[in-house]
Structure 1
Amino acid sequence: MSESTTTTVTTWSMEQTSPADLVPARVPDASSGIRIERAAVPCPEFSRFLYTAVGGDITWTDRLSWSYDRWAAFLERPGTETWVAYEHGTPAGYVELDPQPEGAVEIVYFGLIPRFRGRRIGGHLLSVGTARAWDLAARWPEREPTKRVWLHTCSLDGPHALDNYERRGFRVFGTEVTEEPEVPAPGPWPGAHPEEAA
């Protein structure tokens, strides 16, 4: 029996503890066609599309087995929000916010669809998503005001992910190094990535 291949994964836990920690990125010119809008109607189909389109080449696999009902139950929780970046009407990426006890909000997922990376959209999207985490209670009066916004990112994410978080004012509060099974990136579908199509 052949041994499974493993890879070393570094995970960084990061946080902001005050709205003043946020360092916003430059706002794109109006001519860029970039806008960011909340997907206010919980929609498992749309959220699963974003999850697979953004995470397909960076080994996001934990939700691939989720049923429709599980997606719906997660999205319908009060305070859970999805903010989507569009370029000229086409979805380019998203931020998912998860409200937690004691005024914490986790940025559970953040990223761009591959064809939109490297075009200065990510910094703006993260800025807006983080700001919306800080003012979450303004839209959900039953929530206490946000006291902490946190996330984790790892070495399997895009090469600029950690730098983007640090530029926006997130600080590392924990680092973990583990050996994990090497799993091929699932992709949204075979041949979807430019390097595969070349």
Structure 2
Amino acid sequence: MIHWIFILLYAYGIFKQLDDISELENSGLLVFEVFFAIIFLIIVIMRYSYMRRFETFLGAREPIPSAHKYLAKTIHICMYLCLIILPISGLLIAALFTQGITDGAVQDLIIGIHGFSADLSYVLIAIHIGAALYSRIKGEGVWTSMVPIWKENKPVTNKKIIKIKNLENNFFEKVEDIFSTSK
């Protein structure tokens, strides 16, 4: 449930973003932005703390290659890192603004970090959604543990999809072999 609340907050954050820092001169908007960033940060930390307790690919019907798990975990960690940096950098922007620092090197740096984090979060979330849809098409069982619609009842039987799954698993096994022999 917290996942879906967070998605709504994230989407709202995208659509309500400020075009110019001078908009923070409106004290009501400034207070709202600070409150929003704090709530956003709390929910992201709660979500990350909750998700850390579970295995990646929760609900998978078949064994997932370790290299695939590592890639997924790395993307998840990067995604959460971006989602934590976003509100923290937003709060820093607001704090500097309230101290009269509306421009200059420090404010520009924080705004740059905020913008980069937002842009990177779009890419990582798109990868996350694409991977979830791909997993659903492959019928791995992971989708059902994440999404309340379009449930998976059984493994996929489509020969082309099975062939793609096998190629993918072979690829990840070769990656594992490369890294396990290089130690």
Task: Please classify the TM superposition score into its range, dividing by the shorter chain length.
Answer: under 0.3
Larger Cα Rg: Structure 1 or Structure 2?
A: 2
Larger strand fraction of residues: 1
Larger helix fraction of residues: 2
TM-score, normalisation: structure 2: 0.25
